[in-house]
């Protein structure tokens, strides 16, 4: 189990890089070294910010502005026409209902998938820490190892399994798939978290004769709000951003936003409307971006823990 | 194997539930302007005549993108009410696995043998005495489309065959006109077949597509085809390629590009965009060289629906099957799509100049096209080869021939 | 972790010794029931599906799986297929460049961030936000930026820099760099966060000692701190590596494999032949090769971790 301990232990349970810099002592601000540091950081920040800027300004331009202006230029006016079109009338193939159906499909996929996957993983983590049974650690090791298997290896058998279950091409299938592939990292997260809680509470409850589920719901869950938030951020962004499982398992009526976005941009007929394309791209990125900016440090913690998921 | 469809009873919930007016989901990949207008004709007739609802599921990405979705839904036990696919071998295993409905009884009283243009078309639909699909049109890749506007610009007459067309390239390039328009992705895939029929001739097509004879590929006739591909490569580059074949059509109408080899369905788009054959564009069947067209087509398949499906939906399947091959729907659909109807007994006086040319050639019989006679696996391999060849000047004509031969050699 | 395990063993072991049957089935029954989803996932999905895939990669299954064994035929065809070989070469080239650059830039940025910079939190926010976005969004944005006529190239030329060339997505020789620039944009921030966590996990005493010895800061980072971050580095390599093997969405969105087949990757080959070409055997053989690639990355890592730990304790 040592490998998982190393992998997760470091990022998950502890250090969000908050602890305070360890570099040399502060010196006067404008030394050559400082200038180099800030120049480099600013340069990279520009690289990271550039696409966001381009995305947003392009989405507010008109097509003539795009065709005759330059890509850096600000839009002549705050113009959300393209956003409206991307949302309600951009064409994905033959249907021209914009991205909004994809948005709602993604909502329908993300909410249950997040709830189911987190609940199951929380129970797993709890059982692994407090109720170890013969072989439980072996299963856990394979689970972690399994998270590195390329999805393509399991794709076709999963099509067959969901078919036999009669859910292929429906929401339950894609929820099941997200639960399966979210399980390794989430289980790891909860396992490490529960392991870090003081064991006295658990023991006391056992002595009082409380059983598996009672301890879980009455003692463990109330204490695990922080890790639930981390798991929530991880799953919502991960599932929202998924493309492959949506394409294969969700069915044509439930295609998530990422898939519809790709159809709008890459399967469009006629003259491409780059402003609508970029508006659609911004809209698709908006949900994870909002989560990112609102959750701040918790997101950092989530992705650091989610490291294993890759 | 039937169990696949049966187990998936849950899916039925999505497929209409009212007892009388059923909703029938129909999947297809007809997403270009002309194609969409054509399928709408089917939908209109179906809804008017039966009172049922046509639930349209158009899938993006054409055959290569949509086929997988259609197939995986059928295999996955979440079948649609009806689906379009290419006439040919793409669905053969689905038929063998019992996933498609046997239509023999449904069309028994229509005596389909009497009116189908070519019985060969029905061959892929037949399996162990049953009939599992209905070809609804004949389409052919074998068209060279030429832009009147482009040739006006350079002050030359519009070419009447492939050789004249190639000879006009230098003048076109000098005038800043793209000699050959091409959409990215699959459109390249039909071109070798067209060159085979036009330049290589009937024997070559039969030997390669029907007999899968790799030696024919290595022979002198196919070499001419490969050299023509090489010439195309010299005037096509990734920067000049457009997103879809419909866009290539628009380049012809505007005179930005001079020519394009593409199937007859391009004509639907040219018409929608206001193009008139003979005025805005010219069409040369079989490159203006050959006398026979290679043909395939589209067929409709009706998957076996899971147990517990509303009988009204199953009945709607039957109604649609009969409507698709009815004279009325055939006429309306094919005139819009630019393809040839499968019935001999239709009055095609409404056909435009290009379709009339095609109908004349049809009398000489059809040659089996690649999408008709090769498995999807083989088609995919050829597509990869063609895509690679057209984009990479380092692959010699010899390499191309040899790799084409290897793929044909392994084809089953 | 080990002591916690022992603790809970003691808790569980409080009751009197059960018999073999009870020990196997009834002992901790609720926990076992609760763990059914996990056990099923492990056995059916991770183990079962993988075995199924490897098994059927030796058959000539087409649209539907069938038990018709053909030995290594699928693999022979795979490695005789130009597109597969291009895919592997691409993966190797992209993978090695991406790995090296992600680690180097991630480490460099982490070191810079570790210099008591002002606005550290702002910098971190800026560098990490792309990681919140999907590969589809990433691919589409960069596709637009690299649009030859209206994107960066067109703009620069319009501004008078006639020779400016940034045609990477339509140039077969440069298209991998297009993927790289988008991939790095998405992933470097995350690597920086990992590295920064590693840097801040290094004991302050080390720094004091280095300063006393008069070792320059940059040398301390390279020859003292870096080796101490072995755990984080290995983690980063494994994560970035297994992400690279899976590379799919980004290619679909940015280039869809083009121009020609010059940016094809193995994951796309698997998908296209499994679902598009209707040749399951071929797709499964390709995915088995992907599995093998991951094993080649994972096994040395697992060995190092297990072996290393064993030696240390």
Domain boundaries, chain B: 3-139+296-354, 184-241+375-412
pLDDT of residue B373: 86
Residue A24 has pLDDT above 80, yes or no: no
Q: Which residues of B touch A251 (CB under 8 A)?
A: 73, 78
pLDDT, position B71: 86
Chain C residues with beta carbon closer than 8 angstroms to that of A5? 1
In CATH, the number for domain B3-139+296-354 is 3.40.190.10
Max mean pLDDT among A68-77, A206-215, C97-106 falls in C97-106
Which residues from chain C sit within 8 angstroms of residue A67, using beta carbons? 150
What does the pLDDT read at residue C260? Answer: 87
Model pLDDT, residue A269? 64
Condensed to tens digits (0 to 9), the pLDDT of residues B402-411 reads 999 999 998 8
Whether the CB of C273 is below 8 Å from some CB of chain B: the reply is yes
| pLDDT tens digits, one per residue of A136-158 | 888 998 898 888 889 999 999 99
- C residues 174-203 closer than 8 Å to A (CB): 185, 189-190, 193-194, 196-202
- C113 contacts A20 by C-beta, under 8 angstroms: no
Phi, psi at A47, each rounded to 5°:
-60, -40
Least confident of B15-29, B295-309, B313-327, C289-303: B15-29
Q: Which residues of B touch C260 (CB under 8 A)?
A: 238, 387-392
The per-residue pLDDT for B4 is: 41
Provide the domain limits for residue C259.
Answer: 81-312
Specify the higher pLDDT residue, A240 or B113. A240
Residues near B276 by beta carbon (within 8 Å), at least 6 away in sequence: none
Distances (CA, A) of A271 to A67, A274, B246: 12, 9, 10
| Alpha-helical runs (H) found in chain C | 2-12, 20-21, 29-34, 36-40, 50-56, 73-80, 82-113, 120-132, 135-145, 152-158, 175-200, 204-212, 217-219, 226-228, 230-246, 249-254, 266-271, 280-312
pLDDT at site B400: 95
Spans of chain C, pLDDT less than 70: 1-27, 305-313
What average pLDDT does chain B have?
Answer: 87
Same domain (yes/no): C208, C164: yes
Contact status, residue C309 vs residue A2, Cβ threshold 8 Å: yes
Residues C27 and C123 in one domain: no
Percent of chain B having pLDDT more than 90? Answer: 49
Listed residue (B232, B177, B173, B206) closest to B390, CA to CA? B232
Residue C69, in any domain of the structure: no
Report the residue of B88, B381, B399 to disrupt the C interface, i.e. the one with the largest count of C CBs within 10 Å: B381
Residue C59 has a pLDDT of: 94
Interface predicted TM-score (ipTM) of this complex, two decimals = 0.86
Residue A296 is predicted with a pLDDT of: 80
Higher pLDDT, B65 or B235: B235
Exposed/middle/buried for residue C277 (C-beta within 10 Å: 0-12, 13-18, 19+): buried
C-alpha C191/C-alpha B301 separation (Å) is: 51
Within 13 A of B292's CA, how many CA atoms are on the CB side? 19
For residue B153 the two structure tokens come to 């610009």
Pick the residue of C24, C40, C41 with the most A CBs within 10 A to test the interface with A by mutation. Answer: C41
Q: Is C73 exposed, middle or buried (0-12, 13-18, 19+ CB in 10 A)?
A: middle
Q: How many domains does chain C have?
A: 2
Same domain, C178 and C50: no
Please say whether the beta carbons of B101 and B302 come within 8 A.
yes
Residue C143 shares a structural domain with residue C23? no
Asked if residue C153 and residue C46 are part of one domain, the reply reads no
- Indicate if the pLDDT at residue B327 is higher than 70: yes
User: Residues of C numbered 233-252 whose beta carbons fall under 8 angstroms of chain A's beta carbons: which are they?
Assistant: 234-235, 238-240, 242-243, 245-246, 248-249, 252
CA angle (A128 as vertex; A125, A130 as ends), nearest 5: 100
The architecture (CATH level 2) of A100-256+286-309 comes to Orthogonal Bundle (1.10)
pLDDT higher than threshold 60 for residue B149: yes
pLDDT band at B63 (very low <50, low <70, confident <90, very high): low
* Binding partners of C (≥3 Cβ pairs within 8 A): A, B
Which of A62, A152, A199, A285 is the best residue to mutate to test the C interface, defined by the most C CB atoms within 10 Å of its own CB? A152
Arithmetic mean of pLDDT, B303-325: 92
Name the residue among B196, B118, B77, B70 with its Cα closest to residue B364: B118
DSSP-H helix ranges across chain A: 2-8, 32-59, 63-68, 81-88, 100-130, 136-146, 151-165, 171-196, 199-207, 212-215, 221-223, 225-241, 244-249, 257-266, 274-295, 297-305
Which range of B152-156, B243-247, B293-297 scores highest in mean pLDDT? It is B152-156
**Where do the structural domains in chain A lie, given as residue ranges?**
100-256+286-309
Residues linked to residue B85 through DSSP beta bridges, in sequence order: B299
Q: Number of residue pairs across A and C with CB atoms under 8 Å?
A: 348
For residues B364 and C99, which has the higher predicted lDDT (pLDDT)? C99
Are C211 and C285 in the same domain? Answer: yes
What is residue C127's predicted lDDT score, i.e. its pLDDT? 93
Q: What is the reported pTM?
A: 0.86
DSSP secondary structure of A215-268: HIIIIIHHH-HHHHHHHHHHHHHHHHH--HHHHHHS-GGG--HHHHHHHHHHS-
C300 shares a domain with C233: yes
**Distance (Å) from the C-alpha of residue A237 to the closest C-alpha of chain B?**
26
Per-residue confidence (pLDDT) for residue A298, from 0 to 100: 80
Section A293-305 average pLDDT: 78
C38 closest CA partner among A138, A246, A110: A138
Tell me, yes or no, whether C160 lies in a domain.
yes
Q: B110-140 burial by CB neighbour count: b if 16+ within 10 A, else e? A: eebeebbbbebbbebbebeeebbbbbbbbbb
User: Residue A238 — very low, low, confident or very high, per pLDDT cuts 50/70/90?
Assistant: very high
Q: Which of B285, B278, B253, B256 is nearest to B154 (CA)?
A: B256
User: If you average pLDDT over residues B260-276, what whole number do you get?
Assistant: 88
Please tell me which residue of chain C has the smallest CA distance to B73. C275
pLDDT at residue A22 in the model: 57
Does B60 sit within 8 Å of A263, measured CB to CB? yes
The reply to whether C169 falls in a domain is: yes
For tokens 């809209």, what's the residue? A283
Given a cut of 80, is residue A301 above it in pLDDT?
no
Task: Mean pLDDT check: name the lowest of B145-154, B200-209, C10-19, C129-138.
Answer: C10-19
Q: What are phi and psi of B299, to 5 degrees?
A: -125, 160
Selecting from A94, A162, A251 the residue whose C-beta is nearest the C-beta of B58 gives A94
Residue A300 — very low, low, confident or very high, per pLDDT cuts 50/70/90? confident
- Chain C CB contacts of A120 under 8 Å are 37-38
Q: What CATH number is attached to the domain comprising C148?
A: 1.10.3720.10
């Amino acid at each position: 189990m040592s490998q998982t301990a190393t992998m997760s232990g470091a990022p998950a349970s502890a250090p969000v890089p908050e602890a305070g810099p360890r570099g040399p002592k502060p010196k006067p601000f404008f030394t050559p070294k400082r200038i180099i540091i800030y120049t480099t950081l600013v340069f990279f920040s520009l690289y990271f910010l550039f696409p966001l800027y381009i995305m947003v300004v392009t989405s507010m331009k008109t097509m003539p502005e795009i065709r005759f202006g330059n890509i850096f230029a600000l839009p002549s006016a705050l113009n959300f026409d393209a956003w409206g079109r991307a949302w309600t009338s951009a064409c994905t193939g033959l249907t021209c209902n914009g991205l909004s159906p994809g948005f709602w499909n993604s909502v329908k996929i993300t909410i249950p998938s997040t709830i189911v996957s987190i609940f199951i993983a929380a129970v797993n983590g709890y059982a692994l820490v407090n109720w170890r049974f013969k072989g439980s650690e072996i299963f856990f090791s394979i689970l972690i190892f399994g998270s590195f298997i390329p999805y393509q290896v399991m794709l076709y058998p999963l099509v067959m399994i969901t078919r036999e279950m009669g859910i292929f091409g429906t929401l339950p299938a894609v929820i099941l798939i997200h639960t399966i592939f979210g399980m390794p990292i989430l289980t790891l997260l909860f396992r490490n978290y529960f392991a870090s809680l003081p064991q006295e509470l658990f023991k006391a409850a056992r002595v009082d004769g409380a059983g598996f589920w009672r301890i879980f719901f009455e003692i463990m869950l109330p204490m695990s709000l922080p890790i639930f938030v981390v798991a929530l951020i991880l799953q919502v962004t991960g599932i929202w951003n998924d493309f492959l499982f949506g394409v294969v398992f969700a069915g044509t009526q439930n295609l998530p936003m990422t898939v519809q976005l790709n159809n709008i941009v890459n399967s469009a007929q006629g003259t491409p409307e780059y402003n609508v394309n970029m508006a659609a791209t911004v809209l698709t990125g908006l949900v994870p971006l909002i989560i990112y900016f609102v959750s701040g440090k918790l997101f950092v913690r989530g992705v650091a823990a989610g490291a294993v998921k890759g | 194997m039937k169990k696949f469809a049966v187990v998936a009873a849950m899916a039925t919930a999505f497929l209409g539930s009212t007892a009388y007016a059923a909703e029938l989901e129909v999947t297809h990949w007809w997403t270009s302007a002309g194609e969409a207008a054509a399928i709408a004709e089917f939908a209109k007739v179906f809804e008017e005549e039966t009172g049922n609802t046509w639930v349209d599921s158009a899938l993006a990405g054409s055959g290569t993108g949509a086929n997988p979705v259609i197939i995986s839904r059928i295999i996955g036990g979440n079948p649609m009410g009806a689906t379009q696919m290419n006439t040919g071998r793409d669905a053969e295993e689905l038929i063998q696995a019992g996933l498609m409905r046997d239509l023999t009884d449904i069309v028994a009283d229509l005596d389909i043998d009497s009116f189908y243009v070519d019985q060969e078309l029905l061959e892929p639909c037949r399996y162990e005495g049953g009939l599992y699909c209905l070809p609804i049109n004949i389409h052919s890749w074998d068209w060279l489309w030429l832009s009147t506007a482009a040739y006006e610009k350079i002050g030359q007459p519009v070419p009447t065959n492939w050789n004249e067309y190639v000879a006009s390239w230098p003048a076109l390039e000098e005038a800043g006109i793209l000699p050959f328009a091409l959409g990215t992705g699959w459109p390249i895939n039909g071109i070798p077949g067209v060159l085979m029929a036009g330049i290589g001739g009937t024997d070559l097509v039969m030997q390669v597509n029907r007999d899968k004879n790799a030696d024919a590929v290595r022979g002198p006739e196919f070499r001419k085809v490969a050299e023509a591909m090489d010439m195309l490569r010299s005037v096509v580059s990734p920067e000049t390629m457009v997103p879809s074949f419909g866009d290539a059509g628009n380049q012809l109408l505007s005179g930005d590009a001079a020519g394009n080899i593409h199937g007859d369905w391009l004509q639907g788009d040219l018409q929608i965009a206001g193009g008139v054959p003979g005025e805005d564009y010219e069409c040369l069947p079989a490159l203006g060289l050959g006398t026979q067209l290679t043909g395939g087509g589209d067929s409709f398949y009706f998957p076996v629906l899971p147990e517990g499906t509303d009988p009204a939906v199953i009945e709607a399947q039957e109604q649609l099957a009969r409507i698709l091959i009815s004279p009325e729907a055939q006429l309306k659909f094919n005139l819009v799509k630019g393809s040839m109807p499968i019935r001999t007994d239709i009055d095609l006086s409404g056909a435009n100049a290009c379709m009339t040319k095609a109908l004349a050639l049809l009398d000489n019989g059809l040659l089996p096209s690649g999408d008709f006679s090769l498995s999807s696996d083989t088609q995919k391999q050829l597509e990869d080869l063609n895509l690679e060849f057209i984009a990479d000047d380092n692959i010699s004509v010899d390499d191309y021939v040899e790799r084409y031969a290897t793929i044909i050699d392994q084809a089953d | 972790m080990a002591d916690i395990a022992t603790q809970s063993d003691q808790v569980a072991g409080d009751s009197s010794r059960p018999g073999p049957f009870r020990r196997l089935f009834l002992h901790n029954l609720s926990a076992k029931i609760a763990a059914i989803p996990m056990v099923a996932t492990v056995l059916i999905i991770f183990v079962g599906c993988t075995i199924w895939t490897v098994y059927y990669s030796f058959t000539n299954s087409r649209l539907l799986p069938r038990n018709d064994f053909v030995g290594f035929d699928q693999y022979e065809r795979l490695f005789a297929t130009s597109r597969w070989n291009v895919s592997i070469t691409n993966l190797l080239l992209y993978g090695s460049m991406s790995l090296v650059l992600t680690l180097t830039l991630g480490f460099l940025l982490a070191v810079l961030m570790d210099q008591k910079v002002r606005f550290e939190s702002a910098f971190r926010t800026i560098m990490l936000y792309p990681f919140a976005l999907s590969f589809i969004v990433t691919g589409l944005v960069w596709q637009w930026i690299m649009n030859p006529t209206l994107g960066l190239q067109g703009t620069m030329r319009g501004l008078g820099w006639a020779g400016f060339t940034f045609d990477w997505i339509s140039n077969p020789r440069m298209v991998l760099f297009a993927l790289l620039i988008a991939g790095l944009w998405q992933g470097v921030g995350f690597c920086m966060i990992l590295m920064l966590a590693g840097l801040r996990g290094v004991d302050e005493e080390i720094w004091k000692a280095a300063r006393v010895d008069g070792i320059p800061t940059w040398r301390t980072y390279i020859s003292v701190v870096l080796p101490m971050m072995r755990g984080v580095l290995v983690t980063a390599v494994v994560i970035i590596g297994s992400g690279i093997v899976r590379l799919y969405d980004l290619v679909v969105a940015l280039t869809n494999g083009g121009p020609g087949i010059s940016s094809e990757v193995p994951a796309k080959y698997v998908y296209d032949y499994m679902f598009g070409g209707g040749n399951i055997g071929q797709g499964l053989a390709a995915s088995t090769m992907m599995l093998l690639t991951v094993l080649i990355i994972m096994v040395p890592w697992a060995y190092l971790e297990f072996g290393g730990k064993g030696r240390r304790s």
